[in-house]
Amino acid sequence: MDQRRYRPLGPIALLALGINGIVGVGIFFIPSTVSSYIPGVWGASVYALTTLFCIPIALCFSRLGPIFDEDGGPYVFARAAFGPDAAFMVGWLTFSSAVLSTSAVIRGLSEAICTSYLTADAQRMVATATVLVLSAIVFGGLRITAWAWTTMTVAKLAPLLALLVVWMAAPVAHHASFSLSDANVQPSTLLRSGLIVLFSLQGFEIIAVPASSVRSRPFMATATILSLSFAGVLYFGLHLACVQAIPELHASKAPLVEAARALGGPCLAGTVMVGTSISALGIALGMIAMSPRYLSALGRSDGLGTWFGVTNERGVPRRALILTSCLVLLFVQVGRLEQLFAMSSIAVLAQYGSTSASLLWMGAKGQWGLGRKDLVVGVVALAASLVVLTGATWQETFRAVALLALGWLIKFAVSMGRRKP
């Protein structure tokens, strides 16, 4: 069956994919970090400003996503704009980072759940079992996987929304005040806190990845903007709840759990704590489902070879999934969390920067129905993407260059293998 005829992703599944990709474990902890930079209720403004900062980038994805009926997102955009070589760098870097990030999330989840009563070897076994179970769900087909990530999205949002409801119903909720006399915010602290929030708002770009399986491609644009906007409003409210429930928010190690305990007692705190694990599990499922699609997008004759590009009748790139799962299994055994997360800034820049540049280039040339009206969005988004680069370290840059060199070596070996008689 032609994979383009199998389109199990409707509006709900697509929106859930975006929200699940954004609302991860970070929001359960970052209110204390933001509060250390900008105390009081004004810290919540960082979430609003960062969401507005991300809107031009999201508009680039929402503009380009519905145009291409092909999996791969940023890789597909870069290929259409700049050709296969530039696209390969974007696709390979994104895939490599996705594998490392998936491994880190699963490794961190297993350590968080088991650290107090299981040995390190047992934790690795739990991580291995998690990879195998999630991979089996994905292997069962895109329809089943979409149902699973939608369910997990609802499950992770429920305790967060419950916390917001309890906070708004509490008398302390009426004590919030954005007094201008308290708004003593320095640009440097705003930038540092904004970068922290920025990485908790990324994930909306994943909506463009499974484009060939989406029933209504125009809704991809709506889902991209809605998922980002929803997360921004949610984070804004959660930070206010933490500020008003925890006097020393900057010193809190688990701000959402502590806020839930202060506002709703042990029951709500326990629910929010469970929500942390569900959130990590949902993120891991979404990444295991989408990461192979970056690899399968590279499965072209001018990429890593068509062998990786095969997708079955259930919308699963089986060969890419098997290799991705094997790599994740390897890294959860041997990698450390800080090493596995070490590519985040560069990978985000690769996706955001290349997509913004692709919109600019194709808009300037009038390709794919794009025009000069898209240039303004592209310019603003590209400038915003460069700000992401300020969050990268030299170590990240070095690892990115090394991964790109490895990718080109593999690509060269594949091309040489095809030339042999």
pLDDT of residue 176: 54
pLDDT of residue 324: 94
Q: Model-level pTM?
A: 0.89
Q: Which residue has the tokens 């680069």?
A: 389
pLDDT of residue 238: 93
**Is residue 187 predicted with pLDDT exceeding 70?**
no
The two three-digit tokens of residue 209, written as one number: 């990845």
Give dist(CA 293, CA 297) in Å, integer. 6
At residue 330, what is the residue type? L
Query: What is the residue-averaged pLDDT of the chain?
Result: 85
Q: Higher model confidence: residue 385 or residue 1?
A: 385
Cα 9-127-299 angle, rounded to 5 deg:
45
**Is residue 229 predicted with pLDDT exceeding 90?**
yes
SS3 content of the chain, % helix, strand, coil (to 5): 80, 0, 20
Per residue in 276-306, pLDDT (tens digit) is: 889 989 999 999 999 999 999 998 887 888 8
Domain boundaries, the chain: 3-174+191-415
Per residue in 109-153, pLDDT (tens digit) is: 787 776 656 676 777 888 899 999 999 999 999 999 999 999 999
DSSP summary character for residue 140: T
pLDDT of residue 200: 86
**Is residue 89 predicted with pLDDT exceeding 50?**
yes
Give alpha helix (H) positions in 115-141. Answer: 120-139
**Is residue 271 predicted with pLDDT exceeding 60?**
yes
CATH number assigned to the domain with residue range 3-174+191-415, chosen from the 4 options 3.40.50.11810, 3.40.1410.10, 2.60.120.920, 1.20.1740.10: 1.20.1740.10
pLDDT of residue 308: 83
Give dist(CA 120, CA 307) in Å, integer. 37
Confidence label for 343 from pLDDT (cuts 50, 70 and 90): low
Sign of the C-alpha dihedral computed for residues 294, 63, 366 and 52 taken in this order? negative
Q: Higher model confidence: residue 155 or residue 28?
A: 155
168-177, 235-244, 258-267, 351-360: least confident range: 168-177
